[in-house]
Structure 1
Amino acid sequence: MAKFQTVQFKARHFNLAGKLVFPDDFDQDTAQKMPVPALVITHPTSADMNQTSTIYATKLAEQGFLSLIFDAAYQGQSEGEPRFIEDPANRTEDIMYAIDYLDTLSYVDGDRIGALGICAGGGYTINAAKVDKRIKAVAGVAAASAGGAYREAFGPDQQLIETLNNIAQQRTIEARGGEAMMGQWIPNSQAEREAAGIDDIDIVEAVDYYKTPRGADEFSPNKVRYTSLALLLGYDPLNLVDKLLTQPLELIIGDKPGSFGSYRFGFDVYNQAASTQKDLLVLHGISHYDLYDQPKAVDPAVEQLTKFFNKYL
Structure 2
Amino acid sequence: MTKTTKTIASTALASALLSGTALASEIQTRAVTFDSNGAAMAGTLYLPVDHDGSALPTVVVTGAWTSVQQQMPATYAREMAARGYAAFTFDFRGWGQSGDLPQNVRFEENPAAKIEDIEAAIAFIADLPEVDAANINGLGICASAGYMIDAVSGNPLINRVGLVAPWLQNEALVNAVYGGEDGVNGLIELGRTAEAEGGIIIPAAGPEGAEGVLMPIGGYYYEADRGAIPEYDNQWNQTSWEGWLTYHPADHGAALDKPLAVVHSESAAIPQGVRDFLSGFAGDATLQWLEDVSQFDFYDNPQDVTRAADTMAAHFSS
Structures share a fold, TM > 0.5?
yes
CA distance in 2, matches of 1:48, 1:110: 25
Q: Show the counterpart of 1:185.
A: 204
After TM superposition, the score normalised by the length of structure 1 is 0.85
Q: Deviations over 1:36-57 (max 9, x none)?
A: 2111000111211111111111
The answer (yes or no) to whether the contact 2:251–2:276 under 8 Å persists in 1 is: no
CA distance in 2, matches of 1:104, 1:295: 33
2:312 to 299, 305, 308: 305
Q: Show the counterpart of 2:11.
A: none
1:100 pairs with 2:123: yes
Q: Show the counterpart of 1:230.
A: 242
After TM superposition, the score normalised by the length of structure 2 is 0.84
In the TM superposition, residue 154 of structure 1 has moved relative to its aligned partner by: 2.9
Q: Which amino acid aligns with 1:247?
A: K
Q: Show the counterpart of 1:155.
A: 179
1:64 to 47, 66, 84: 84
The answer (yes or no) to whether the contact 1:250–1:305 under 8 Å persists in 2 is: yes
% identity of equivalent residues: 26
Q: Which amino acid aligns with 1:285?
A: D
Q: What does 1:75-224 correspond to in 2, within 5 Å?
A: 75-82=95-102, 83-145=106-168, 151-174=175-198, 180-186=199-205, 188-190=206-208, 192=210, 204=217, 207-213=218-224, 214-224=226-236
Structure 1 227/102 Cα, relative in aligned 2: closer, same or farther at 3 Å?
same
Q: Show the counterpart of 2:10.
A: none
The answer (yes or no) to whether the contact 2:210–2:216 under 8 Å persists in 1 is: no
SS at match of 1:190: coil
1:52 pairs with 2:72: yes
The answer (yes or no) to whether the contact 2:154–2:257 under 8 Å persists in 1 is: no
CA distance in 2, matches of 1:238, 1:191: 29
Q: CA RMSD in A?
A: 2.3
Q: Show the counterpart of 1:18.
A: 43
The answer (yes or no) to whether the contact 1:270–1:279 under 8 Å persists in 2 is: no
CA distance in 2, matches of 1:89, 1:297: 30
Structure 1 238/255 Cα, relative in aligned 2: closer, same or farther at 3 Å?
closer
Q: Which has the higher contact order (CA 8 A, sep 6+)?
A: 2
Q: Deviations over 1:163-218 (max 9, x none)?
A: 323332332333xxxxx3113334x113627x99x9xxx974xx211111222122
The answer (yes or no) to whether the contact 1:248–1:278 under 8 Å persists in 2 is: yes
In the TM superposition, residue 110 of structure 1 has moved relative to its aligned partner by: 1.5
Q: Which amino acid aligns with 2:260?
A: L
CA distance in 1, matches of 2:58, 2:237: 33
Q: Deviations over 1:8-35 (max 9, x none)?
A: 111111211010000011111xx1xxx3
In the TM superposition, residue 267 of structure 1 has moved relative to its aligned partner by: 2.3
1:43 pairs with 2:63: yes
The answer (yes or no) to whether the contact 2:251–2:277 under 8 Å persists in 1 is: no
Structure 1 307/185 Cα, relative in aligned 2: closer, same or farther at 3 Å?
same
The answer (yes or no) to whether the contact 2:200–2:239 under 8 Å persists in 1 is: yes
Q: Which amino acid aligns with 1:189?
A: P
CA distance in 1, matches of 2:170, 2:233: 21
In the TM superposition, residue 158 of structure 1 has moved relative to its aligned partner by: 3.1
1:266 pairs with 2:274: yes
As a proportion of its length, which structure holds more helix? 1
- In the alignment, structure 1 segments of 5+ residues that lack a partner are 175-179
- In the alignment, structure 2 segments of 5+ residues that lack a partner are 1-25
CA distance in 1, matches of 2:219, 2:84: 31
CA distance in 1, matches of 2:278, 2:170: 18
2:286 to 279, 289, 311: 279
Q: Which amino acid aligns with 2:43?
A: G
Q: Which amino acid aligns with 1:11?
A: S
**Range 220-229 or range 300-309, more displaced:** 220-229
CA distance in 2, matches of 1:167, 1:54: 30
**Range 112-121 or range 211-220, more displaced:** 211-220
SS at match of 2:196: helix
Structure 1 75/40 Cα, relative in aligned 2: closer, same or farther at 3 Å?
same
The answer (yes or no) to whether the contact 1:43–1:71 under 8 Å persists in 2 is: no
Q: Which amino acid aligns with 2:207?
A: S
